[in-house]
Structure 1
């Protein structure tokens, strides 16, 4: 057994302390506080060698174990003194601890980022299901419906794997707290999905994630980000939301391969052979994810808002994302672009440079999202489709304006993508309000 696997096993054993909360939540708080306090005093010896990460050895402090225990103690405090469901706390900590162990084992036995990510997701999902159901048996003397537990555990495992991959597995507190707070929200939504929907969501998103990685349209982080977004779209919104989102991922991803060698020679191709990373995926789809969560929360009555507002924020942001992607990927192969702010000729690849061919391709992308939304959502109709096209073109234009004015050393491309999709989402809601397709509370 390697030192990394032994260390992961030791962390998993500490994480098991979370099950104390099923009987006495305050006991879990005390246990993790005690672990943090003890770890802060250990600088050498067998315990240090067991728990120490490379950075811990350099600093002669078990910072990793302290951070892990403090994050678990904070969540335990929310469960003890706040409204965080105990099952969410226990599931989060156990899921992360054992997912990490499974990921390390997979990395050791198979090797590679994909094996490690899959190991974390599978191990974390199984551990999360077991922890949540065990907690339910202790606290309520009954098992929870499979669909409810599966949504919580799958979401936690996928988000945990994504954050762990992005942060290189070195920031336990950020991952644990992020997963715990997200699952708190998911639990509050009381998602009414069925077991069939969950199983279909798992199968479809896993297959699409693997396909995107195999076709080299996404990196491991990009694959995980896309799977998270697609899974939540299905279980929180439904298949129409998933279909619109996957249209963006599929068409946008394939467009990066369009005349890729030519774009590479011109210096306008996506890095990593066109495989999009998590930053790119989230930069283009984070607004859509928030819109899905907002729609589910509004539909559940957690706050007073018209769910249709979030539908048009969702479609407007994705219309922007696809419009911007197609305008860049297709327009990039044409000569003589003009800077959008001055219309002067610029070199291909210049931030804020546009071509008429790219603008037409972008408008077609927005129209495609609008047409698909018109077919899938009864609330959209022809006026709604026009709203979505207008929102997409607006967001695409904002992207070009931001590229010409602020993009550079201080503001990166992914930040510009996020701001553009945010503007498209806002435009979609405002235009929907203006034509009476949605209302204010």
Structure 2
């Protein structure tokens, strides 16, 4: 086997030592971690050094990768002992990263880095994450049957986030990935899953299938695919399939709209990069507010925050309506001549930030209406008045995006920041109107 595979295998074995915490408690585990770090400082050359060293470790002759890995796990251990983070989350996170890396390295002996190696990381990491959590629950004596849905949900969510971070930013920075995954899973562990293990597996299958279709159709990059799968899974498990249909309507229609007269957009210089494939930044910029609303809905339903769940539902619908409205407005409007700058109504070149056309405006309103109608069909809380509020919120979000594009984009804000604030404005508008109407009733 090649050196990267041997190193990944060694780190996978190292990650298994996280089971010392549920087996022996915090004090012996701290001693074990200290011994590993001390050994990493002492070993400066030889076969063991070659086995564990990353390429950058050779410059200073120190196993900084090992030290950082143990230190990252140690921070999660501190959260476990000081702030009552579940021990199963710690173990599940650490082995997920360790064995996910090993599976990915084994796959890369046969294939280049791409969707297949990412799949190997996800499968290997998910299996290890489930096994680590089950082992921990068995050690501490918790019921496995009642915990199984949460175990599957946490392992799937964690491995998707880890794969996303490795693909976008941090291919070798395991400690940062470990901490990010652990904190997410800690949050999700506090929320109750309303569906069983079979439904969670079905939700994962649905989101993976749709995510791969978006990748195969070149409407999403690998990072965009992973982001969409993760957000879709969170939406189904914490909200329900109705929430997912509303969210996926944006991904589907919005993604296809990028292909609308794409060659012409490319000629004009207004086409999305990467042949229209949306990356993680674009997906998060348009969906982060909506997923935050899903988390808020789950937290309020579990009485973790003193807010009516209905407000988060309308915030979710308003944010998705804004994302849909803005995307269709931009993608359709950019192929028409004579756009006007929204702040001055002066003619500008096609593709100018803040430039609008009447055709794009109509398309944007249609997009907001689609989300509003879907919300009416899938959410019992949304009546005719609520449908109108959601459609209006989407239109407001589109206008905010155009105004920000004309004033702040390119200087203070990037495109993803503008998208985020536009969806946030749609969510806030929708929630505030609903709250005001409830107060007047």
Q: What TM-score do you get using the length of structure 1 for normalisation?
A: 0.96
Partner residue, 2:107: 106
- Distance change >3 Å, CA 53–CA 310, structure 1 → 2: same
Any idea what SS the aligned residue of 1:217 has? coil
Distance 1:360 1:242 in 2: 25
CA contact (8 A) 2:170 2:177 kept: no
Instruction: Name whichever of 271-280 and 169-178 sits farther off.
Output: 169-178
Residue aligning to 1:298: 300
Post-superposition Cα deviations, 1:65-109, rounded to whole Å, max 9, x if no partner, equal 222111100111111232101111111111111111111111222
Please give the alpha-carbon distance, in whole angstroms, between the structure 2 residues aligned to 1:35 and 1:399: 52
User: Partner residue of 1:122?
Assistant: 123
Q: Residue by residue, what CA displacement relative to the aligned partner does 1:293-339 show, whole Å, maximum 9, x if unpaired?
A: 11111101112111111111111111111111100100000001111
Task: Tell me the distance in 1 between the aligned counterparts of 2:88 and 2:54.
Answer: 30
The superposition leaves residues 183-215 of structure 1 with CA deviations (integer Å, 9 ceiling, x where unpaired) of 111111121311231121011011111101100
- Give the drift of 1:141: 5.7
Q: How does 1:38-77 map to 2 (within 5 A)?
A: 38-40=39-41, 42-77=43-78
CA distance in 1, matches of 2:157, 2:221: 20
Residue 350 of structure 2: aligned partner: 348
User: Within 2, Cα distance between the matches of 1:77 and 1:430?
Assistant: 40
Q: Which moved more, 1:168-177 or 1:47-56?
A: 47-56
Matched, 1:393 2:395: yes
2:9 match: 9
**Residue number in structure 2 paired with 1:195:** 197
Change (3 A) 1:437 1:179: farther
Distance 1:33 1:183 in 2: 26
CA displacement 1:261-313 (0-9 Å, x = unmatched) = 00000011000000000111011101111111111111011121111111111
Q: 1:334 to 1:177 in 2, by over 3 A?
A: same
> What is the distance in 2 between the residues matched to 1:320 and 1:438?
26
- The whole-number CA distance in structure 1 between the counterparts of 2:33 and 2:341 is 57
Partner residue of 2:25?
A: 25
**Deviation larger for 80-89 or 251-260:** 80-89
**In the aligned structure 1, how far is the partner of 2:142 from the partner of 2:339?**
67
Alignment partners' CA distance in 1, 2:337 and 2:343: 18
Map 1:223-302; keep pairs closer than 5 Å.
Answer: 223-302=225-304
- Asked if 1:178 is matched to 2:180, the reply is yes
Q: Is the 8 A contact 1:136 1:144 kept in 2?
A: no
Q: What is aligned with 2:210?
A: 208
The farther-off stretch of 363-372 and 15-24 is 15-24
CA shift for structure 1 position 37 = 4.3
After alignment, is 381-390 or 272-281 more displaced?
381-390
Match in the other structure for 1:81: 82
Unaligned regions of 5+ residues in structure 1, if any? none
Quick check: 1:133–1:144 contact (8 Å CA) kept in 2?
no
Deviations 1:316-373 (A, max 9, x none): 1111111111001000000011111111111111111111111110111011000000
User: 1:308·1:437 contact (CA, 8 Å) conserved in 2?
Assistant: no
TM alignment of 1:322-361, pairs within 5 A: 322-361=324-363
Q: Name 1:148's counterpart in structure 2.
A: 150
> CA separation in 1, counterparts of 2:42 and 2:272?
48
Displacement of 1:23 in angstroms is 1.7
Cα offset for 1:175?
1.1
Measure, in 1, the Cα distance between the counterparts of 2:364 and 2:440. Answer: 26
- Matches of 1:61 and 1:418 in 2, distance apart? 42
| Residues in 2 aligned to 1:304 and 1:58: alpha-carbon distance in whole angstroms | 54
Deviation at 1:42, TM superposition (A): 4.4
Q: What's the CA shift for 1:410?
A: 4.7
**Superimposed CA distance per residue, residues 140-167 of structure 1 (whole angstroms, 9 cap, x where no aligned partner):** 1642443221111111111111112112
Alignment match, 1:163: 165
Alpha-carbon distance between aligned partners in 2 of 1:438 and 1:77, rounded to the nearest angstrom: 48
* SS in structure 2 at match of 1:436: helix
- Between the aligned partners of 1:20 and 1:250, the Cα distance in structure 2 is 46
Mark the runs of 5 or more structure 2 residues left unpaired by the alignment: none
Question: Which residue is 1:320 aligned to?
Answer: 322
Structure 2 vs 1, CA of residues 437 and 180 (structure 1 numbering), >3 Å: closer, same or farther?
Answer: farther
C-alpha distance in 2 between matches for 1:437 and 1:180: 40
Aligned 8 A contact 2:192 2:298 in 1: no
Q: CA-atom RMSD, angstroms? A: 1.7
| Equivalences, count | 439
Structure 1 contact 28–76 (Cα < 8 Å) conserved: no
Scaled by the length of structure 2, the TM-score of the pair is 0.96
